[in-house]
Amino acid sequence: MTTAQPTNPLLVHFSALDQATPFDQIKVEHYLPALDEAIKLTKQNIEKIKLTASAPDFENTIVKLETASELADKIALIYSNLEVANADESLQALAKEIYPKLTALASDISLDEVIFKRVKSVYDQRAQLTLTTEQARLLEKTYLSFARNGALLSVVDKDKLRQLDQELSVLGPKFSENVLKATNAFEMYLDKKEDIEGLPEGVIEAAAAMAEAKGKKGQWLFNLQVTSYLPFLTYAKSRVLREKLWRANAGRSFTGEFSNQEIIKKIVTLRSQRANLLGFKTHAEFVLAERMAQNPTTVFNFLNKILSASREAGKKDVTEVTTFAKKTDGLTDLKNWDFAFYSEKLKEEKYAFNEEDLRPYFKLENVVEGVFACAKKLYGLRFKENSEIPVYHPEVKAYEIYEDQSNKYMGLFYTDFFPRETKKGGAWMTLYRNQGLSEGSLLRPHVSIVCNFTKPTPTKPSLLSYDEVRTLFHEFGHALHGMLSNCTYQSLSGTNVYWDFVELPSQIMENWVGEKEGLDLFARHYESNESMPAELVQKLKSAQKFQAGYMSCRQVQFSLMDMAWHTADPSLIKDVDSFEDQATAETRLFPKVDGANSSVSFSHIFAGGYSAGYYSYKWAEVLDADAFEYFLEKGLFNQEVAQKFKDNILSRGGTEHPMELYKKFRGREPDAQALLRRDGLI
């Protein structure tokens, strides 16, 4: 008698609310068989399109293609999200099989001559078709996607492209894995009271709890998670230990077992070869052809303009801190590991303000309530926690989203806030399901935000730093872009927009936590429940422009480094460190430190999709500064402006060119001076 094979949860109908992902049922061994089955199904769907007897048209070719790989896309989203948010070694190990399979499938489709012939046939007659704006955009995007992925190449070149894509598909995840392992490999245990002098009580308590969890009761553990690393550099009096921690962080993945140097050289070489094969001079040219900026010259001009407005201010910021350190402690050689410490002390002196004074008002649960209250006041959304929805880790919470007035269901929202060894650093928004056409229906999105925030301690709840509060609002801005999407096609919905536009919804949300009216929604003392005093809010506002020049130079430095890696001839790059040194010379405000290298842990550009796109943070800051001036002009929660932002930006995805959408919202193109005004640089 044969026993029935247990069903693979990834291949059956998801039975939880709104077909929520059954995280509680999925095991590591389910992914590969499910993906193989999904790839087989996708190929069958592609064959059906090829065998269609009737002439190619929008419905039988473009729409069928849009939905051909639904199951494979669903499995890919689940795996790729968990691989960075909650992956043990066995789940990580699957990356080197899963990503090449997905890349091969994408290549099979984009290099299929028959399919491309059908797509091109529809594209060539686009002027005669009566298409909506969104349909026209989907047609254009589909055609360009084929062209940009090799459809116009010769057979020999198609094979070369396929090979390049296969190699690249494993290098990004490997880069990411090295950074995570290098981050986890460093631990600094302290056992003397003087070693932790200057640190806030909550930081000390968290470090004691971490040490105890590792069997070192009575000691304090500091590591390279930002919630441990940043407070130590900002408040610890011990210069020797600050230097030790700074060097460990700055040298992650530079040398040793988890070095990323050779991987970087390989990635930029393969990207360059791929761009050349497709008729572009550099990878940056290839990427920027599908961005608002359009070409590297525009990006370099933009960054240099910001740099010329920031550099003198940045130098003044460093000089001011140097003078202050000498005056207070007789320090004559200010180093990188001293800057945050003395900068914080200087800010306290100038504004009678210590950022730690804000922390008691930022209990995580209250901040989450606050971001929900903002979404309700601006866009009429309501969030209802549902503990029945499956989650992938006990710390994850799931919510149903509704339109408050009409009670219309808008989707699902997951939050995952605390660091752990199975999660990569940083913060991001992602989706488990895009809004749009799937299985013949228009489905609502399943959105998630993942962060690495200060954890609760045995005596205190999670009390966030101001920076963490801004991060939560930032990622929630991305989440709103996903939740409020009202498009027909998934590939155009939500955050599927030009990458130098995608940061506008996220960055604009940060502004509400710099205004009293926004803070009053949630900033209450975790013990007394009193609102944040007006005097403290005013100090916060006064300190907002503090060292704006320094911060701007730092962002421009990362952006120029990214552009350098992706515009240079890789065959001339012999050494990762000296290349970075040259690329950042103009922006550096401190001398180079041996053993410190940013490129080797720069996951955004080598493992996260921001290659030749890191400038988009600054680009979108211009948009957000200009857009927020409109809110300030009319009122922080002005319904008319909020409705315009929702209708023209948040709900429209990539259905139109972003500049057209922005002009519909603002009534004009963005004013580039808005950012410099906000930062006090002009």
Closest CA to 374 of 474, 449, 493: 474
User: What is the distance between the alpha carbons of residues 415 and 408, in angstroms, rounded to a whole number?
Assistant: 21
Tokens 């866009």 found at: 379
Hey, CA dihedral for 603, 606, 607, 612, is it positive or negative? positive
**Burial call 593-614: b when 16+ CB within 10 Å, e when fewer:** eeebbebbbbbbbbbbebbbbb
Q: How many residues does the chain have?
A: 682
Task: Return the bridge partners of 412, or none.
Answer: 400, 446
User: What is the distance between the alpha carbons of residues 656 and 649, in angstroms, rounded to a whole number?
Assistant: 10
Q: Judging by beta carbons within 10 Å of its beta carbon (0-12, 13-18, 19+), is residue 67 exposed, middle or buried?
A: middle
Token digits for 170?
A: 């494993």
User: What is the distance between the alpha carbons of residues 449 and 414, in angstroms, rounded to a whole number?
Assistant: 6
Closest CA to 237 of 202, 197, 192: 197
Within 10 angstroms of residue 216's Cβ, the number of other Cβ atoms is 16
Q: Is residue 172 within 8 Å of 178, Cβ to Cβ?
A: no
Catalytic site positions:
475
Hey, CA dihedral for 19, 21, 26, 29, is it positive or negative? positive
Within 10 angstroms of residue 680's Cβ, the number of other Cβ atoms is 12
Tokens 């039975």 found at: 15
Q: What is the largest CA-CA distance in the chain?
A: 86
Task: Return the bridge partners of 437, or none.
Answer: 442
Hey, CA dihedral for 377, 382, 384, 389, is it positive or negative? negative
For helices 336-351 and 534-543, what crossing angle results, to 10°?
Answer: 130
Contacting residues for 315 by C-beta, under 8 A, at least 6 apart: 549, 589
Residue type, 603: S
Closest CA to 382 of 406, 417, 416: 406
